[in-house]
Amino acid sequence: MAELKLEVAPALLRMLQQSARLNGLSLEDECLRRLEGHVRRSRRLEEVMEEMRHLRGQTGAPQGQ
């Protein structure tokens, strides 16, 4: 699996940690759940995902990984 590192604002990290606890998930699984679209995404997250898709297309990285 490819590795992705993000810098996250402290308030957002606390919110993600709380959400992970409430959902009975690890922090990593909560982030994956959100990235996979199981929750409503923020506009900013949509922009980041679009940029990642654009960069993936430029590098020729395999899709779906």
Query: What digits encode the pLDDT tens for the residues 23-38?
Result: 899 998 988 888 787 6
**Which residues of the chain have a pLDDT value below 50?**
none
| Rounded CA separation 60/2 (Å) | 14
| Rounded CA separation 61/54 (Å) | 11
| Rounded CA separation 15/3 (Å) | 22
- Gyration radius of the chain over CA positions: 13
Query: Mean pLDDT score of the chain, rounded to an integer?
Result: 80
CA quadruple 43, 19, 27, 55: dihedral, nearest 10: -10
> Does pTM surpass 0.75?
no
